[in-house]
Amino acid sequence: MSRSNDPPILEWTREGDCPVLVVSGTWNRTGPVCEIRGEAPDQPPARYRCDDLGEFDSTLPATMLALIRQTTGGAAAGRPKPESKSKPDPDEDAAGVTLDGLPDDLRGLMELALGVAERSDAKSPVARRRSLGQFLGQTSQRVGAALLGVIEFVGLSVQSLGRLLVGRARFRRADLWLTIQECGVQALPIVSLISFLIGVILAFVGGYQLAGFGAEIFVADLVGIAMVREMGVVMTGIIMSGRTGAAFAAHIGSMKANEEIDALRTFGLNPFDFLVLPRLLALVLMMPLLTVYANLVGILGGMLVGVASGIPAVLYWQQTLTAIDLTTASLGVFKSVFFGAAIAICGCMQGMKAASSSAGVGQATTRAVVASITMVIVLDSAFAAIFTVLDI
C-alpha cells in the first residue's frame, strides 16, 4: 500500500513507563508541515515505531533531532554513554540516545547527527538571547581583542621598518616599485576627478553665499584653505582606502587562502617584510605627492568656477596665494603621511587575518575599506583638535 500522500506525523505514546515515538507518513521538505501529537515527555524516546513510515528525506532526521534535543535540554548531542553499562547496547548511539525501532538508513543519519555536539552559535536568535550585561561584556572583549590586534600589528610594522633601516629586511625591490606605480601613477585619474569636482562644489557653494555680501573674490580663500587643510588630504585618503587598501587586503588574503604565505615561511622569508613592508613604504611615500596633486587640481576646479563667475584668473590666483601660507599648505601634507600608514596597516592587517576561503577574502576586503575610512576620519579629527589647541 502506497503512503506517498500521507501527511508526516510524530505521535508520543507510552508503553508502560517508557515513552514511544510513532513516526508515520511521507516526509519531504516540499510537503506539508509535520504534525506532532501527544504530550512530549521530559526524556527522549525509549523506542520508535515506524510501521507506517513512507519515503523521507533530511526533513525527518532534522525534525527528530530537534525533538530529542528539546526533551533533553540540548544535552543529547555529544553526551557520553552511561558508565554503569558493562557493554554497549546495539540499539543505543554514541550519545546515549536509544534508536531502537528505526530503519537502518534513518538510524545511520541519526547516529551521525547525535554524535556531534551542537554548536552554541548555531541556535536561533531567540534561543541565544543574552542579557544586557552579557552583551556589554562580550562586546568589550571583542573591542579589547581588536585593539590589541591593531597594537600588535603596528608594533610588527615598526619592527619591520627597523629591520629595513639596518639592512636586514628581505623583500623584492621590484615589488616596491610596482606597488609605488599602483599607488601613485595609476591612482591619478580617480584622484584628479574627485579633487576637481570637490573644488567645483566648494566654489559653487561658497560663491553663492558670498555673492550676497559682494565678496565673490573670497571664494578663492575658501576653496584654497579648505583644499590644502582638509578636503584634499581627506578625499585622497578615502579614495586610497577604497582603491588601494581594499587591493592590499584582497591580494594578501588570496595569498593566505592559497597557502602562499605558508610557502614564504617554508622558504625562510618573513611574510611581514616580504608583503607588508613594501606596501607600507609605497603608500607612505605616495600619499603626500597625491595630496599635493589633489590640492592643485581642487584649486584649479574652483578657479574655473570663479572665472565663469567673472573673476579674472590672475586675480583669483593672487588671492589664493595671499590666503595660503607655507604653514597652512603643509598641514594636509603632514597628515597624509599618517593617513597613508593607517590605510596600509588596515589593508594588510585584514588580509593577514582573512579566513582561508573566497568568502573570507571578500569579508577581509570589506573590513579593510571600513577600517581604513574610519581611521582616516578619526585621525583627521584628532589632528583638527591638536591644530586648534596649537593655534595653527
For residue range 319-347, what is the model confidence (pLDDT) as tens digits?
Answer: 999 999 898 889 999 999 999 999 999 99
- pLDDT, mean over the chain: 84
pLDDT, average across residues 120-134: 61
Sign of the Cα pseudo-torsion (172, 175, 177, 180, in order): negative
Q: Could you identify the residue written with the cell 552583551?
A: 135
Cα distances (Å, whole numbers) of residue 261 to 192, 244, 349, 383: 35, 20, 14, 36
What the block records as the C-alpha cell of 208 is: 553663492
- Model confidence over 373-385: pLDDT tens digits? 999 999 999 999 9
Residues 6+ apart with CB under 8 A from 303: 199, 203, 220, 223, 313, 316, 317, 320
Burial zone of 99 (CB within 10 Å; 0-12 exposed, 13-18 middle, 19+ buried): buried
For residue 287, what pLDDT is reported? 94
Angstrom distance (rounded) from CA 349 to CA 151: 11
- Model confidence over 55-106: pLDDT tens digits? 888 888 888 888 777 776 554 544 444 444 444 454 554 445 778 888 888 8
- Model confidence over 261-294: pLDDT tens digits? 888 888 888 888 888 999 999 999 999 999 999 9
* 123: pLDDT strictly greater than 60: no
Burial zone of 130 (CB within 10 Å; 0-12 exposed, 13-18 middle, 19+ buried): exposed
For residue 146, what pLDDT is reported? 85
Burial zone of 118 (CB within 10 Å; 0-12 exposed, 13-18 middle, 19+ buried): middle
Residue 232: pLDDT band with limits 50, 70, 90:
very high
Percent of the chain with pLDDT over 90: 36
Sketch the domain layout of the chain as residue ranges.
Answer: 9-122, 170-389
* 161: pLDDT strictly greater than 60: yes
Taking a C-beta distance cutoff of 8 angstroms, is the pair 231, 223 a contact? no
What the block records as the C-alpha cell of 379 is: 585621525
Angstrom distance (rounded) from CA 115 to CA 83: 17
For residue 94, what pLDDT is reported? 43
Cα distances (Å, whole numbers) of residue 314 to 220, 321, 324: 11, 11, 16
Cα distances (Å, whole numbers) of residue 38 to 17, 67, 333: 15, 13, 76
What the block records as the C-alpha cell of 219 is: 571664494
Residue type, 209: Q
* 297: pLDDT strictly greater than 70: yes
DSSP 39: -
For residue 2, what pLDDT is reported? 44
Question: What size, in residues, is the chain?
Answer: 392
Question: How many angstroms separate the first and last alpha carbons of the chain?
Answer: 91
301 SS3 class = helix
* 367: pLDDT strictly greater than 50: yes
For the ranges 57-71, 102-116, 231-245, the maximum mean pLDDT occurs at 231-245
pTM: 0.68
Q: Which DSSP helix (H) or strand (E) runs through 13?
A: strand 9-15
- Pairing verdict, β 53-56 and 35-37: unpaired
The answer to which of 4-8, 16-20, 118-122, 364-368 has the lowest mean pLDDT is 118-122
Name the CA radius of gyration of the chain, rounded. Answer: 33
